[in-house]
Chains A and B, each alone.
Chain A
């Protein structure tokens, strides 16, 4: 019998007030898998991640993680079950030092391989700047700190929202180069990207969102560029 997926999003509808952002979106993530969600601005990618992380509750449909229903669980409870989100725009805590930002990521107290020394080994520059306020870091360093902060909760599933946004291509390459080291421990990963090439390279499975609906899905290597542009732009 096939093992149940780690994450199973089943036909969720998500609203901002009266505005419907997601229409019956389904997505599954297997253990150790890297899944990319692509789509144009406003397609609902961030909304999907926010719903999985518990920052928004779907009005219809369900979300199961490790076999448990988490669709109505608040964000702070979802983290404790092992889902961490690296939010769009990084959003480090400006009042906290770099190290405090990392430590607060470990607040949920989940045991696992990720500790402060290991984060510093992954991103040595953070170690050098650990006592500075988070606002003193460059954009790329802030992104590293945001990823490190999420890893500190030792998640089974890491959600990364637009980690390349606003960063120089060389820095994006550096950060993506660290992904194998991060996923190596059997962690699953969902990355939301506008940079399709980057997403296709990193991911095994790809979902393309268009106006709140899944327009295309499949294994990254099976998808043709034409199919993706059709799903992406809706032409």
Chain B
């Protein structure tokens, strides 16, 4: 019994990471209907940026966030302004194929620079600290921090979306681009800000991913898929839904892995497909208004 409780708890905590993968994806889809196929590769790119920062400056991975987050946000702004804004329009193909091309470029660029070797960020003592929170139930400090950060990130995004001028601009632009322009909003800038924010979240996710487990240039697409599954499970357009989706995915994978290590990923995918079959709008679809 306690064994299963531990499994589920681990699943919940990793779900926070998946929710961060999902939040960035959901954000840009919400604002500009763009699905970024390179999203997972950008997470991996953030992990490598963190690797460089920690190695050259001798910083602790969590401190490196202070540099990695703004760096990724700038990359996001530039990417949208210089490349992705050109792809937006009625046609579905250009954004999809351009981000697909971007995914290939990032993967192979990283391969060229860093080889296919597995890397990991070392966070020191924080990685091994665990606390007993009940008889036989243990929680690691790092997974706990990661989950708390995920909740904070999603709460912050929710606040930003519904309480600030930038969030208002995001929602208005999403509703009606040309009228948004009549309000003095440069939609190209609004989109670039959305991508910057998305990649800021990607940066946090990338650093936690890199501390938690090994990474190499090829693991991006799987992160895209996890994020995407969390978005669909949670329901399109809902920020807290991505957290629920991430947690459900994390728990499914943890339970699958407990049954048979080969079933970890499969269990997650199957839960996703079942939810798609029985409740295609997701568990917490955005209520309009």
Contact = CB atoms under 8 A, between A and B. Distances in A.
B172 A79 contact: no
A74 interface: yes
B288 interface: yes
Contacts of B168: 96, 100, 103-104
Nearest to A149: B183
| Interface size bracket, B side | 20 to 34
Nearest to A146: B179
B182 A94 contact: no
- Interface of B, helix, strand, loop or mixed by DSSP: helix
A93 B179 contact: yes
A133 interface: yes
B127 interface: no
B289 A133 contact: yes
Contacts of A91: 176, 179
Contact of B175 (A55, A74, A96): A96
Interface in B160-203: 165, 168-169, 171-172, 174-176, 178-187
A105 interface: yes
Contacts of B172: 93, 95-96, 104
B183 A79 contact: yes
A76 B175 contact: no
A94 B184 contact: no
Interface in A39-80: 53-55, 74-77, 79-80
Contacts of A85: 182
Contacts of B186: 74, 76-77
B184 A76 contact: yes
Contacts of B171: 93, 95-96
A151 B119 CA distance: 57
Contacts of B180: 93
A78 B124 CA distance: 55
Nearest to A109: B184
Nearest to B170: A95
Contact of A79 (B175, B184, B187): B184
Interface of A: 53-55, 74-77, 79-80, 84-85, 87, 91, 93-96, 100, 103-105, 107-109, 133, 135-136, 149-150, 153
